[in-house]
Structure 1
Amino acid sequence: MHPMLNIAVRAARKAGNLIAKNYETPDAVEVNQKGSNDFMTNVDRDVERLIIEVIRKSYPHHSIVTEESGELAGEDQDIQWVIDPLDGTTNFIKRLPHFSVSIAVRIKGRTEVAVVYDPMRNELFTAVRGQGAQLNGYRLRGNIARDLDGTILATGFPFKTKQHAPAFINVVAKLFTQCADFRRTGCAALDLAYVAAGRVDGYFEIGLKPWDFAAGELLVREAGGLVTDFTGGHGYMHSGNLVAGNPRVVKSLLFSMRDELSEALKR
């Protein structure tokens, strides 16, 4: 096993145990509002602290980027751990058991290691660049759908950027006439992991942050899929506008979405 994957798995499992423990004691969960429709809990903070502790023990000089603490610069700027301690916080708060820990390692700007862990189902999705993606040790291959006919698509509403609502609703309306159905689960990391596992055929979302998709992106790629921005390029690292699926599904998604996008979403 890749040594950094080993540490990422250890951190994710410890974090998942802490999340599951807190899930059983909802009265001890403190909720704060960070921004419009954006929440965090004491569990997010505690889990983040635990993950950082595990990483620092083995790699004290690496840099770390987390959802709650921002960038923690280390002596080694070339290696960066990108962490979402609890992706799906709203689900956790509402006691809807669908959330995950997401950990990615980027070396010189390329994601090399990815872990997405669902503690409620004990499902561990892992990937190392060039070595494929796995779920609990079994190799993943994405879906082989040839176009949108019969596909299940996953997405997330742009609840933090509601100025994009009209374009988003137009895109959904158009795609709904071509696919079989939609899923909207409230956890981007698991959406991408499910694309890698073939549980959903394609995925798109507006305005994600790097910690939402850094690990999931590598899972999709290593399962034979494609990840692009809304124009088929690689600008999603900055825009957070993401399309994922097998190459044919992505091509069909981009073609169908093209005429419904606002100018802001084409950048």
Structure 2
Amino acid sequence: MRPMLNIAIRIIRNIGNIIIKNYEIQNINSDYNEYNINLFTKKINKNLNNMITKVIYNIYTKNITFLCKKKFFIFKYKKTIWIINPLDGVMNFFKKLPHFSISIAICIKGKTEISLVYDPLKNDLFTAIRGQNAQLNGYKLRCDKYFQKKNLLFALNTSYIFFTKKKNVNLINLFVENLISLRISGSISLDLAYLAANKIDCYLNNNVQNFNYLLAGELIIKESGGLITDFIGNCNYKNSTNILAGNADIIKLVISKIK
């Protein structure tokens, strides 16, 4: 797996170089509309497509299926699938808010075996290989087992559904009663990677529409010792539309309040 990880690192850093170059030169904030965003995105994607496909085709010389779905580059070779999200945090990028990331998940026989999340602005590279721990810039990550009910920081998805549905009243009470600080960062991959690095304590998303956004961060959390369930504690969360991530004690606390 290590040679494949090294190739993925080269790809993700090259993507980062292209993203940063365009981040520095783009100047559309004064006219922030869908047309300009789509035009600029097409320009970036063309450069990314040329670079990524060249590297991938050098690895797998034939029988490659290229699926360029909306927001993702997906390559399939036999039972190996590369899922690349070149920009997680699009609105942050276009608003010049310096918080976005790139993610790569390599799945073999339906399981994520290698994952990477890269913040090109901070040069933070999170990596994980199944069964071989998770790392940040070469240093081992361990999801903190220490737990206290004060000074907790929870990250939420970008949906305001938490505050509009009656079924989440208990969850909102949990936030208020324990003085939990909340963040909506706009980059799912970074939220999950930050949880593995103990920069946040819990991640909640009750409006999951595409699990491709979660694949890279999912493996990083698991390899750092963290847990992921749905809101009722079921580990088969991919059949749900919500996920809850954190250490065992925090997950127990949140689930008890939801129930």
Pairwise same-fold verdict (TM > 0.5): yes
Residue aligned with 2:165, SS? helix
TM-score by length of 2: 0.84
Q: What aligned pairs does 1:15-54 form with structure 2 within 5 A after superposition?
A: 15-27=15-27, 33=34, 41-42=41-42, 45-46=45-46, 48-49=48-49, 50-54=51-55
Answer whether contact 2:74 2:82 (CA < 8 A) is retained.
Answer: no
Pair 1:79–1:249, CA change in 2 (3 A): same
Deviation at 1:224, TM superposition (A): 0.5
Q: For residue 264 of structure 1, what is the aligned residue in structure 2?
A: none
The structure with the larger Rg is 2
Deviation at 1:233, TM superposition (A): 1.9
Q: CA RMSD in A?
A: 3.1
Q: For residue 131 of structure 1, what is the aligned residue in structure 2?
A: 132
Pair 1:167–1:187, CA change in 2 (3 A): farther
Matched, 1:94 2:95: yes
Residue aligned with 2:19, SS? helix
Instruction: Quote the Cα distance in structure 2 between the aligned partners of 1:187 and 1:227.
Output: 18
Pair 1:169–1:196, CA change in 2 (3 A): same
Instruction: Quote the Cα distance in structure 2 between the aligned partners of 1:136 and 1:67.
Output: 30
Q: For residue 12 of structure 2, what is the aligned residue in structure 1?
A: 12
Moved more, 94-103 or 54-63: 54-63
Find 1:68's aligned residue among 38, 57, 70: 70
Deviations 1:97-130 (A, max 9, x none): 1000010011111111000000010000000001
Instruction: Quote the Cα distance in structure 2 between the aligned partners of 1:174 and 1:182.
Output: 13
Matched, 1:151 2:152: yes
Q: For residue 119 of structure 1, what is the aligned residue in structure 2?
A: 120
Answer whether contact 1:32 1:41 (CA < 8 A) is retained.
Answer: no
Deviation at 1:31, TM superposition (A): 7.4
Moved more, 206-215 or 182-191: 206-215
Answer whether contact 1:31 1:41 (CA < 8 A) is retained.
Answer: no
- In the alignment, structure 1 segments of 5+ residues that lack a partner are 259-267
Pair 1:74–1:32, CA change in 2 (3 A): farther
TM-score by length of 1: 0.82
Answer whether contact 1:158 1:164 (CA < 8 A) is retained.
Answer: no
Q: For residue 189 of structure 1, what is the aligned residue in structure 2?
A: 189
**Pairs aligned (count):** 252
